[in-house]
Structure 1
Amino acid sequence: MQRFVRAKLHGLRVTGADLNYHGSITLDPEICRRAGLDPLEFVEIWNKNSGARISTYVLYGVAGSRCCILNGAAARTCQIGDEVIIASATYGAVDDVIAAQPTVLTFRPDNEVAEEIAYRVFRNEAGELDMTIESDGAVVPIRALVG
């Protein structure tokens, strides 16, 4: 079994931090449902501003609020306005990730969804694993980060 990305929120802004609340991250359930994140699901959070990386679980907040609130010890890792990446994972065989087609949401500064992206993993003609990134059904070029 391998660990694969199941869903990802990229560039969501932190709207609150509550050190004295039960540990977790509170997210707008509309955003969670669109990406496929479930209540109490464990997620990894990567702070783009500080580089902090933490693991916690999802609580659903108020629908439509566009909230992203770090609670408990996680509140120490982020400031209001920080951009975070939130990813969930699943374990399975390669064929499971081929079938899953994870959803990635990117965000505007007001936490409205800017783009919905799908990661598509497949076997190419040689039988090797390959992938595309799709937005609105169209393949998006994968940047070549070369020298």
Structure 2
Amino acid sequence: MKLRIICKSKIHRATVTEANVNYIGSISIDEALMKLTGIVSGEQVAVWNLNNGERIDTYAIPSPEGSGAIVVNGAAARHFQVGDLVIIAAFYLTDEPVVPQMILVDEKNRFVKHLVGGQ
């Protein structure tokens, strides 16, 4: 058996709505976007900042459904600013095929469309 790390979820071009250095950690993601991509509370996610190239790993927690909130919390908040565009991704360690749940969002973090094959 060969296990591989495979992308299972991606939120593409989300906009950071808050950076809260005083919160204990994590990234808060609009719960509607978490449901669309299969990301669950507490799951490890990668967050890639398209504005400055920063890449972090943290864990996801839901923000209110439909709020559009994408809040980078804790020490990571020093690397993100309100208005930065980010990609949020989660991965499986598996030996089975995965159909990733990838979405594109608009500037208010509202669902635009499903992405096929990462496109």
TM-score normalised per structure 2: 0.94
Q: Please say if 1:67 is aligned against 2:69.
A: yes
Which amino acid is the alignment partner of residue 75 of structure 2? A
Among all aligned residue pairs of Structure 1 and Structure 2, give the percentage whose two residues are the same amino acid: 33
**Aligned pairs, how many?**
117
Q: CA deviation at 1:118?
A: 3.5
Aligned to 1:10: 12
> By how many angstroms is 1:10 displaced?
0.5
Match of residue 101 from structure 2: 103
Structure 1 residue runs of 4 or more that deviate by more than 4 Å after TM superposition: none
* Residues 31-79 of structure 1, C-alpha deviations (whole Å, 9 max, x = no match): 1001110000000010000000000000111111010000001111111
Offset of residue 20 of structure 1: 0.5
**Which residue in 2 is equivalent to 1:115?**
113
Higher RCO (C-alpha under 8 Å, 6+ residues apart): 2
Identify unmatched segments of 5+ residues in structure 2: none
Query: Secondary structure of 2:116's partner?
Result: strand
Structure 1: runs of 5+ lacking an equivalent: 120-132, 134-141, 143-147
Superposition CA RMSD, Å: 1.2
Q: Distance in 1 between matches of 2:56 and 2:19?
A: 14
Matched to 1:19, the amino acid is V
Q: Counterpart in 2 of 1:139?
A: none
Letter in 1 for 2:49: N
Larger radius of gyration: 1
How do 1:127-146 and structure 2 match up within 5 A? none
TM-score, structure 1 as length reference? 0.76
Give the secondary structure class of the aligned counterpart of 1:111.
coil
Deviations 1:79-135 (A, max 9, x none): 101000000011011xx2x2x31111111111111111233xxxxxxxxxxxxx6xx
